[in-house]
Amino acid sequence: MKKNSKAILLIFAICIFVPFSLTAKVPDVLSIPDSSEIRKNTLESWLLAPKSELTAKESQNLITSYGQVFQIKSEVTESEIIISIAPRKEDYTFDYTAAGSWRLVKNAETETMKEVRFFFLNDPNIYIRLLPDKQPDRPKVRADLIIYNSYVARNIPVGLQFEDILTLSFSELYELTYDVIPWDYVKFDPRKYGNNQYMISEIRKNLPRFEYLQDTCYDENKNPVTISTNERRSKTPGKLGVDESGFTKWIADGITYNLNEHYLRVEPLKRHTVNVQNTMYEPPEIDLQVFASLNWTRNLAAALISAATDKDFDAITAGTDVLIEPFSSVTSNDNSGVRKNVGYIKNTGYDISMLKSLFFVLASTEPDMFYFGAIKTRDEKFPEQWVFSHEAVFFPYFDKYGICQIAVFECGVETDFDTFIQNNPDTFVHLVRAKATDNFMPY
């Protein structure tokens, strides 16, 4: 009887505790530390205090009724008064741009309020900014949602007097703007990127095997061939000799083989995807030179869709081009102001300066997808002409800390994302999407 009782208790315990142990902590924009109580208690002594009192004021640690410790501090410069509030971290430090942090900025000369910022993720480049409108008496609030200097929402009316937001909680702000701000762009679950991280790991393991060999890829029989002529090439012992196109095909082959036990044929990957009739790019052989990387990446993505569905898709019917335009405007490169965002340009893609914010949104809205990119740059010999010169592969994902990571691979080499941007100034990147898999089997 005692044994049966113990068995029942054990089963009961497993039923209760296993689901919780298997559930990872998921970042939630509404579960961040709430400083509204601190702001109510310091409204007169800090937030509305005159500059003369704030100039030499020391930082102060305060605790809420629910036990959360915050630190409040002020900084006075020639042009601004900045009052910042930050929650205490597990290591007992304070990060004033961490999730749950809050900032008030005033004009140092007039002491009028300029803006309030809520930081709701552990990335200082993503925040919501609240600004007063131009009404002279009791201005109302306008909201901007910013991701890496790109505006997914700008100048959105909130329906409150600006003075009322000083004690507003983030959850209250979220509810007020739920229908007018695209919050889905900044909501994600790090558990949904396992396939991306698996493919990244497998690609990294294989990088030492690659050797650059111009105009070379492996055909459907795993033989090295010249891409432009389809002629057989001699093998490179112990190495995979490929160029950029050969490397992107190697990744695609690692997916298709698991789906249908076939590697991709080379010739279909060179099909034209741009109608160049009556354009400066006639005749067709010019198309192959100017649009080679664009054609290749589009046809790769279409081939992956075809293999996954057992249906024939081409670059047009596959629907793999990334066309989204989530940003209304962007901060100028010199930070001098805000300019309208051009967005996606047909058969060209996106300005490379938009990639970081774009991949953040793509990772949020299309978890576990990766992207083949064709880079469009000015021709070295004829600067007035643009060509798609090479390819890269991008794997965006959110890590366990809620930070958007972007792994970049080019021709058998991993490149730091910021380095990739620096190496390709004033270019455009055309993206096509593909589904990541945990059954990636590269040769």
pLDDT averaged per 10 residues in sequence order, the chain, 443 residues: 40 34 50 96 98 96 97 98 97 96 98 97 97 89 96 95 95 96 96 98 98 97 96 92 98 96 96 75 60 97 96 94 94 71 93 97 97 93 84 98 97 98 97 98 94
- Same domain, yes or no, for 385 and 425? yes
320 conformational bin, left if phi > 0, alpha if psi -120 to 50, beta if neither? alpha
User: Which residue is associated with the tokens 């890829």?
Assistant: 217
Residue 280's alpha-carbon distances to 123, 284, 288, 434, in angstroms, are 45, 11, 13, 31
Strand ranges, E, within 19-139: 60-63, 69-76, 80-87, 101-107, 113-119, 126-132
Judge whether 1 lies within some domain.
Answer: no
- Of 187, 221, 255, the residue at which a domain comes to its end is 187
- Same domain, yes or no, for 84 and 50? yes
- Same domain, yes or no, for 91 and 237? no
Looking at the structure of the chain, the number of domains it has is: 2
Rounded to an integer, what distance in angstroms lies between the CA atom of residue 261 and that of residue 423? 37
Whether the bond into 283 is cis, omega within 30 of 0: yes
- Same domain, yes or no, for 167 and 221? no
> What pTM was computed for the model?
0.89
Strand ranges, E, within 31-184: 60-63, 69-76, 80-87, 101-107, 113-119, 126-132, 140-147, 150-161
Judge whether 373 lies within some domain.
Answer: yes
- Of 187, 218, 235, the residue at which a domain comes to its end is 187
- Same domain, yes or no, for 213 and 181? no
The burial class, CB within 10 Å (0-12 / 13-18 / 19+), for 172 is: middle
Judge whether 420 lies within some domain.
Answer: yes
pLDDT of residue 356: 98
User: Percent helix, strand, coil in the chain (nearest 5)?
Assistant: 30, 30, 40
Judge whether 3 lies within some domain.
Answer: no
Judge whether 6 lies within some domain.
Answer: no
User: Which residue is associated with the tokens 């008496």?
Assistant: 137
- Same domain, yes or no, for 237 and 182? no
pLDDT of residue 288: 62
Judge whether 26 lies within some domain.
Answer: no
- Same domain, yes or no, for 419 and 365? yes
Judge whether 326 lies within some domain.
Answer: yes
Structure tokens given for 89: 């971290």
Buried b or exposed e, range 283-293, using 16+ CB within 10 angstroms: eeeebeebbbb
- Same domain, yes or no, for 269 and 342? yes
β-strand pairing of 126-132 with 329-331: unpaired
pLDDT of residue 25: 47
- Same domain, yes or no, for 174 and 220? no
- Same domain, yes or no, for 115 and 197? no
pLDDT of residue 2: 41
Structure tokens given for 10: 């054990």
Show the domain range for 156.
36-187
Judge whether 24 lies within some domain.
Answer: no
Rounded to an integer, what distance in angstroms lies between the CA atom of residue 405 and that of residue 385? 33
pLDDT of residue 285: 55
Read out DSSP for 347-412?
Answer: TTBEEGGGHHHHHHHHHHHSTTEEEEEEEEEE-SS-TTSEEEEEEEEEEEEE-TTS-EEEEEEETT
- Same domain, yes or no, for 228 and 375? yes
- Same domain, yes or no, for 284 and 326? yes
- Of 154, 187, 220, the residue at which a domain comes to its end is 187
Provide the 3-class DSSP secondary structure of residue 280. coil
Neighbours of 115 (CB within 10 A): 16
